[in-house]
Amino acid sequence: MMNLETFFNHFELLADAPNGVQKLRELILQLAVMGKLVPQDKNDEPASILLEKIKAKKAKLVKDKKIKKSKPLTPITDDEIPYNLPIGWEWVRLDDITLLITDGAHHTPTYRFSGVPFLSVKDISSGFINLANTRFISEETHQKLIKRCHPEFNDILLTKVETTGIAKVIDIDIEFSIFVSLALLKFNKSLIYTYYLELLINSPLVKEKSAKNTQGVGNKNLVLKHIKNFVTPLPPLNEQHRIVKKVAQLMKYCDELENKKTEQKKQLILLGETATNKLTKTKEEDFKNNWQQIQENFELIYSTPENIKQLRQTILQLAVMGKLVPQDKSDEPASILLEKIKSEKAKLVKDKKIKKSKPLPPITDDEIPYNLPVGWEWVRLGNIVNFIGGSQPPKKKFIYHEEKGYTRLIQIRDFKSEEFKTFVPNQYANRPFSKDDVMIGRYGPPVFQILRGLEGTYNVALMKADPIHLLISKDYLYYLLQEPRIQKIVIAESERTAGQTGVRKELINAFVIGLPSLNEQHRIVKKVDQLMKYCDDLEQQLTQGIEYRKKLIQTAIYQLLAA
């Protein structure tokens, strides 16, 4: 069973959960307003007496006509009380412990280039009052506005539109006015500790009330009468100070843990990038040793989702550079393979199975990014692969259930979800493809997705990468097109077409790639399959660890709040 002592002892472990530091911050605030964060002191003056003093002060201010008498609030019912409070605490409505709850100007004033700052909700961010982009009003306008709403040092501002329910102590000692998007809370600073009230309003208890009472569509608004009616816990004044001190201490620790996690993540990502550079840019004679060292430390280097993604890209990059598997001198070299492909292409043109394409330009030295192993050849993709664009049947012919005489029309979305299946009459299914065919998503985002695993006919958003000869493995082609160098260049140079990023066939046709023998293609595919499976296993381990830590913090929260 998790108690407060165990909680503090396991603080760092809990922070390691997904979004763990943020959850800890929320838990700290919730424990604080439940009276569970610091011990009670029986010598403290109870909140009931404190409440009487606040009422007396408020009544005197009303009598002296310094504040208006507020409307009587309904008594707090049992249904409004979420949990039992420690001895000495009291449940109160927010209006009971404040002198004034109001909001800023309801009409947009005339702005000036300089003058008195005029704050709105946009000037409250990340726990700070940010005057960098604030607007200004004249002194005359300011004097009129502060007759109804005068923000002063140590009062509290509360956001009431957009991101509602964020409280901020006014810690800048300057004159300013506020817009209607902010509420202002004034209270007796000698009876209510300013930073306890800020902490209370920012706690999950009150934030939940803010969310429930935010009204409207679009620009949602937290109404003043609801703010006044919020039921909140009031501890003795001395305990308010102890709570704030403890919360500040724990929040500082959270900051340190957050910075530590950020730095660790940066270091791990840097480690992954260094490993990639070590493999892809190393000399041939050093590659084997470097690869061995990295393989021995896979679980350390690739222990974040970003690094596993980087590992997948590195595997593909090494594969197409000829570094992933050893060459076999008995393999038929790619130069002979290219001659066979050339003959096959000429035959297909002669038999009118494909159209004769314009000759692609010779490959220049500037286009060659690295040296290839013996037996490989540089080639333009368009010389070994036929890229076939899709066809768009008329929408009026679509049906959304299987039926005899109809073929499934595949769109990019279908590779992610089987939810919206579309079928067209067979006579419109003039772009057939099978499950092992390699498909390219032409439009995004994300653009240039390499897809496979479905069958049917495909629309104009897809393009089929069809090897001209059986000497090009479809499995190898599938991995080749996902290689980072191709992805980076094609995505960067894709056109903007009708508001979408589109892939041009001409660009892919002209792309220069290294071609290995057919036997080596098969060896590469086998090795890539093996390593991708290992990446899957690493991701699964990572997910299981994340889920364990997630359940751990959920259990801790439940046990601490229920105790």
d(CA 452, CA 455): 9
Tell me the torsion sign for CA atoms 510, 515, 521, 527.
negative
d(CA 203, CA 225): 20
Stretch(es) of the chain classified as CATH 3.90.220.20: 45-235, 334-516
pLDDT score recorded for residue 500: 56
Q: Residue 416 class from Cβ within 10 Å (0-12 exposed, 13-18 middle, 19+ buried)?
A: exposed
Instruction: State the pTM of this model.
Output: 0.72
pLDDT score recorded for residue 498: 46
Would you say 246 and 38 are in contact if contact means Cβ atoms under 8 Å apart? yes
d(CA 277, CA 262): 23
The per-residue pLDDT for range 217-275, each reduced to its tens digit, is 667 789 999 999 999 999 999 999 999 999 999 999 999 989 988 888 888 888 888 87
pLDDT score recorded for residue 495: 57
The per-residue pLDDT for range 101-124, each reduced to its tens digit, is 999 999 999 999 999 999 999 999
May I ask the CATH architecture of the domain 45-235?
Alpha-Beta Complex (3.90)
pLDDT score recorded for residue 490: 84
**Nearest alpha carbon to residue 276 among 242, 223, 314:** 314
Would you say 173 and 156 are in contact if contact means Cβ atoms under 8 Å apart? no
Q: Rg of the chain over CA atoms, in angstroms? A: 34
Task: Determine the CATH number of domain 334-516.
Answer: 3.90.220.20
Tens digit of each residue's pLDDT, the chain (563 residues): 556 777 777 777 777 777 888 888 999 999 999 999 999 999 999 999 999 999 999 999 889 888 888 888 899 999 999 999 999 999 999 999 999 999 999 999 999 999 999 999 999 987 899 999 999 999 999 999 999 999 999 999 999 988 889 999 999 999 999 999 999 999 999 999 999 999 999 999 999 988 888 876 667 789 999 999 999 999 999 999 999 999 999 999 999 989 988 888 888 888 888 877 777 777 766 777 877 777 777 777 777 888 888 889 999 999 999 999 999 999 999 999 999 988 888 888 888 887 888 889 999 999 999 999 999 999 999 999 999 999 999 999 999 999 999 999 999 999 998 888 999 999 999 999 999 999 999 887 788 999 999 999 999 999 999 998 888 999 999 999 999 999 888 888 775 544 556 788 888 999 999 999 999 999 999 999 999 999 999 889 888 887 877 777 777 777 777 76
Amino acid at residue number 483: E
